[in-house]
């Protein structure tokens, strides 16, 4: 299953020219600076942009090519915009029914009641938009998009206008969409924290062109991309929650008997979770340290060394049980340790962060 998007659109001082083959499942993030073409791509997929030269094929169904053009209302999409755009004269229930009732019963696969419950709207269905918080409005907007029973969900920076509290409120709901819906999601954002948490696949854009694309795990640690050179550069590792200890710690399994010990996470055992490890929080040792306050010492192989944005530092790409992480150390430390490619090291992880 794949999504094929080939677009060519010329505007004043901007040329969108790309050919994408995206996974037909999971969450794909379109990431890049403002003006890179993210929203234009989304609008083109939705049929909201008039393009003479475009091919859009979603999991075997042709929406647009030289011989075929489906108008927006015939494309089975759900679209979540930056602003919720709810009908102010309708309460939440009526806003949702407006979308739900437009879908033929034979085409519905999304349950009205289950959607209301899963997005935490049960207690606000009789409220009007002006009575809702920003996070509540956006949850209603997401539910409204889902109730069209889409084959593809498009999300255009749905948290760009929200404050931190509202973002923290809504992120868990977005995170569960992939597992509950089983449809592909294309998510536009310029916030790398959102992307690293939500996305399985990243397309990095610049001025209407593709700089790179690949799995989130690989893209975040590619030293030839600016994502790895940012001050807050971080790798995402997948772990299995093994146990919770009496001293308020949670033990995470990576593989090959390697573990992370982190502050207590309210997650059931055997659950797979993502952990973020910042490059600045990883130190290097040649021997297993003793009597150290840092809880996590991982065996790692040095795979790549590159210059950092600051000339005093170098950036290391390490392999830890088959998963890449980054370490930013001083050039002086690199020389003093006489590090070599392929060398087995110890990565001392000072902190591990989660978005839960």
How does pLDDT run across 75-129, given as a tens digit for each residue?
999 999 988 999 999 999 999 999 999 889 988 888 999 999 989 999 999 999 9
178 plus 54 within the same structural domain: yes
| Residue 138 near residue 144 (C-beta atoms within 8 A) | no
Has residue 226 been placed in a domain?
no
Q: Which helix (H) or strand (E) holds 267?
A: none
Among 219, 245, 279, where does a domain finish? 219
Domains held by the chain: number = 2
Residue 171 sits in the same domain as residue 117: yes
CB atoms inside a 10 Å sphere around CB 100: 19
Other Cβ atoms within 10 Å of 42 Cβ, number: 22
- Whether 156 and 28 map to the same domain: the answer is yes
Q: Tell me the CA distances in angstroms from 123 to 93, 114, 127, one per residue in order.
A: 11, 14, 9
Separation between Cα atoms, residue 342 and residue 70, nearest integer Å: 53
Residue 228: CB atoms within 10 Å: 23
Last residue of a domain, one of 161, 184, 219: 219
Beta strands at 272-278 and 282-285: parallel, antiparallel or unpaired: unpaired
Length of the chain: 356
Q: Are residues 258 and 199 both part of a single domain?
A: no
In a domain? residue 225? no
Give the domain-ending residue among 157, 192, 219.
219
pLDDT attached to residue 355: 59
Same domain for 155 and 280? no
Q: Per the domain annotation, does 113 fall within a domain?
A: yes
- Quote the domain boundaries for residue 122: 2-219
CATH number of the domain to which 92 belongs: 3.40.50.300
Q: Strands across the sheet with 201-206, in order?
A: 77-80, 152-156, 185-189, 27-31, 201-206, 209-215
Q: How confident is the model at residue 170, as a pLDDT? A: 83
Q: Is residue 93 in some structural domain? A: yes
Report yes or no on 198 lying in a domain: yes
On whether both 127 and 92 belong to a single domain, the answer is yes
Structure tokens, 203: 């397309």
Residues 312, 214, 36: CA angle, nearest 5 degrees: 75
CA–CA separation, 62 and 76 (whole Å): 12
**Which ranges in the chain belong to alpha helices (H)?**
38-46, 92-100, 112-118, 134-146, 164-181, 192-198, 216-219, 226-229, 331-337
Give domain status of residue 199, yes or no.
Answer: yes
**149 dihedral zone (left: phi>0; alpha: psi -120 to 50; beta):** left
Nearest of 322, 225, 326 to residue 281 by alpha carbon: 326
Answer yes or no: do 183 and 243 share one domain: no
In a domain, 354, yes or no: no
pLDDT value at position 72?
93
DSSP state of 69: B
Asked if 180 and 272 sit in the same domain, the reply is no
**211 and 306 housed in the same domain:** no
Q: CA-to-CA distance for 100 and 115, rounded, in angstroms?
A: 11
Same domain, 248 and 177: no
Low-confidence ranges of the chain (pLDDT < 50): 356
Q: Where are the alpha helices (DSSP H) in 9-91?
A: 38-46
> For residues 49 and 9, is the Cβ–Cβ distance under 8 A?
yes
So what's the pLDDT on residue 45? 94
In a domain, 228, yes or no: no
CATH number at residue 329: 2.40.50.100
* In a shared domain, residues 14 and 109: yes
In terms of domains, do 202 and 56 share one? yes
* Residue 303 Cα to chain centre, angstroms: 25
């Amino acid at each position: 299953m794949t999504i094929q998007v080939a677009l060519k659109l010329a505007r004043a001082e901007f040329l969108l020219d790309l050919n994408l083959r995206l996974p037909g499942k999971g969450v794909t993030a379109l990431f890049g600076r403002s003006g890179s073409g993210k929203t234009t791509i989304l609008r083109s997929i939705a049929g909201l942009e008039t393009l003479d030269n475009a091919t859009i094929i979603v999991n075997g169904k042709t929406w647009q090519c030289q011989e075929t053009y489906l108008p927006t209302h015939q494309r089975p999409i759900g679209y979540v915009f930056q602003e919720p755009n709810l009908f102010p004269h309708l309460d939440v229930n009526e806003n949702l029914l407006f979308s739900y009732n437009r879908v033929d019963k034979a085409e519905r696969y999304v349950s009205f009641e289950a959607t209301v419950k899963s997005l935490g709207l049960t207690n606000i269905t009789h409220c009007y938009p002006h009575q809702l918080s920003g996070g509540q409005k956006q949850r209603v907007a997401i539910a409204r998009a889902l109730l069209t029973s889409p084959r593809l969900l498009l999300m255009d920076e749905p948290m760009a206008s929200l404050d931190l509290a509202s973002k923290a409120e809504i992120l868990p709901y977005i995170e569960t969409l992939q597992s509950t819906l089983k449809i592909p999601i294309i998510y536009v954002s310029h916030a790398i924290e959102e992307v690293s948490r939500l996305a399985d696949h990243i397309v990095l854009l610049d001025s209407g062109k593709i700089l790179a694309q690949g799995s989130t795990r690989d893209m975040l640690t590619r030293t030839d991309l600016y994502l790895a050179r940012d001050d807050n550069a971080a790798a995402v590792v997948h772990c299995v929650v093994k146990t919770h200890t009496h001293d308020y710690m949670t033990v995470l399994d990576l593989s090959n008997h390697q573990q992370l010990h982190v502050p207590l996470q309210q997650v059931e055992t055997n659950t797979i979770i993502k952990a973020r490890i910042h490059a600045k929080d990883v130190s290097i040792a040649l021997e297993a340290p003793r009597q150290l306050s840092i809880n996590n010492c991982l065996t790692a192989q040095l795979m790549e060394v590159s210059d950092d944005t600051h000339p005093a530092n170098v950036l290391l790409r390490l392999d830890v049980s088959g998963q890449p992480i980054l370490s930013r150390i001083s050039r002086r430390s690199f020389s003093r340790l006489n590090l070599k490619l392929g060398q087995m090291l110890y990565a001392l992880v000072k902190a591990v962060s989660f978005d839960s």
